[in-house]
Structure 1
């Protein structure tokens, strides 16, 4: 099978990340597997849109465009998908840089025609220079990174993680785009799970679809100082519980929570045990990590309970859009 053409979508929203955005684009342009194009989708920020348009006005491989939908990451991604030309559409966070073979590893995954999505490994780059001693690796998803508990190597999964992921264009034709109303809205609403909901919808629409992660497709994701604090940890975990309630309402608790059950009953207890063992051995942060895991579970459960109650009282808070755009190459 021929190598697929890949478009890369980077959703941006604030000038505070200007240098990060430039670094993200540069990392795409330096790939060993050349991208067809990089699409910078600006989320309702006219000043940033104008600044980026001027910065890349002579770059034939970079397209700057405004989010055509409601404010938020999901609508921004849908805008990028509709404007892209690639047979495969990849997504990169605006505060991350990709290693040189990132797109090559994605392309290799699509040699199998059953594969509809390929994700990669996201490594945290802590603002303080090192992981906070109390912060458990099992909760690295809180800062948008690959967490302990995911399978190593190239493995089949229920869903990929949105900041380091790719999909065949036909996946969106089969299942629609990212659901609006469920994902992030800049720094205002730390919800998530939009890629989980999409992936479950995709495998329902295409029962034979294969979704993979490949830990050789690596990006490095910056974690600002504010997200190294327990207050952010708690807020993000609470929001994840709310998000999971929305997903469970949309696709059913069986599919919506299948991976989470294994994570909660196997991965997290093992993490608590490691933390307590480290505490007994007087290793730094052991008790803090064990306590953070327990607090995280209880907080997420509280968010899920509140989200479920809200869902029962009103209509669905999100909407799935069909993707319409240019014909792919």
Structure 2
């Protein structure tokens, strides 16, 4: 089974991080791995990529004629790929050496159409003490309450997900109308919509293997409270938008909210009563604040997508 890993990039400012991501793919323990690099409309970045990787075995390099965005670039990468499986990683992430092996195991053992893994945090600026683990998903890190151990899930993060390539192409890839800021609406969740379509058309979810890990760099701006609050609002908005595209896409958010109310908040309050601390108080308060921001974004989405 050949695995093609699609890595998209577009900025010289991110080039050093992109190289770390690319090198982590080239160091995979799984031998039959192809790296497909898609440069999104930047000639200067493309020239550097060609200099560094143009002559490398099992590396495909492509440059879009113009900047078309991440989702369309990923679709292009999947079309260029030669693998049986197409996997996706971002240019601010680093794959564990056993990542592809872990993904392949899901296809071999579960006969899955899609397999994803765990995102772990690389806290470049230090882990913010106010951010509760239940909301690590705001910074692209697998959060408390996602799932316990391997199993079927609706979707994993877009920087650690893969598909049977024929299935991906049959579904038409990512919907390019999703993702990125459109006016005042930062619509997110391309992988959510695609995986919801997978469930609708193939009757199957994504197999989650927590042993297939990717480290996501959490830069300093992503730990600023205002950025996180804004992110929470637009994530809530995106959840509502996803429900209008694919009505079946909202189940996991409902379960997460129930867990927050019935389990996470009460358990934090009990721990706080047993061992009071300023950090515990702040995280409990922020748990409520972030939940409110997500709810506000969802409500805004109800108005916009009536």
TM-score (norm 2): 0.92
**Deviation (angstroms), 1:173:** 3.2
The corresponding residue for 2:188 is 192
Say which is worse superposed, 280-289 or 48-57, in terms of deviation. Answer: 280-289
How do 1:306-317 residues align onto structure 2 when only pairs under 5 Å count? 306-312=300-306
Superposed CA deviations along residues 103-160 of structure 1, whole A, max 9, x for unmatched, are: 001111111464111111111011233x211101111111111111122322111122
Q: Deviations over 1:274-326 (max 9, x none)?
A: 443454423342122112221112111221222232233xxxxxxxxxxxxxx
Instruction: Verify the 8 A CA contact 2:41 2:66 in the aligned structure 1.
Output: no
Q: Name 2:256's counterpart in structure 1.
A: 263
Q: Which of 176, 179, 184 in structure 2 is aligned with 1:180?
A: 176
Aligned in 2, Cα 1:190/1:34: closer, same or farther, shift over 3 Å? farther
Alpha-carbon spacing, 1:263–1:52, altered in 2? closer, same or farther (3 Å): same
1:110 and 2:103 matched: no
Matched residue, 1:323: none
Corresponding residue of 2:163:
167
Q: Return the match for 1:296 from 270, 273, 290.
A: 290
Instruction: Select the residue among 244, 251, 258 that pairs with 1:249.
Output: 244
Structure 2, gaps ≥5 residues long: none
Distance apart, 1:271 and its partner CA: 2.8
Larger helix fraction of residues: 2
Distance 1:189 1:251, change over 3 A: closer
Unpaired stretches in structure 1, ≥5 consecutive residues: 313-329
Q: Which residue is 1:318 aligned to?
A: none
User: Are residues 190 and 220 of structure 1, via their aligned partners in 2, closer, same or farther at CA, if it must alter by over 3 Å?
Assistant: farther
Which residue number in structure 2 is paired with residue 30 of structure 1?
Answer: 27
TM, length-normalised to structure 1: 0.86
Aligned length: 303
Deviates more, 1:285-294 or 1:20-29: 285-294
Per-residue displacement from partner, 1:84-109 (whole Å, max 9, x unpaired)? 11110011121111111110011111
Instruction: Please state whether the residue corresponding to 2:252 is helix, strand or coil.
Output: helix
Does residue 46 of the first structure (1) align with residue 43 of the second (2)? yes
Partner of residue 225, structure 1: 220
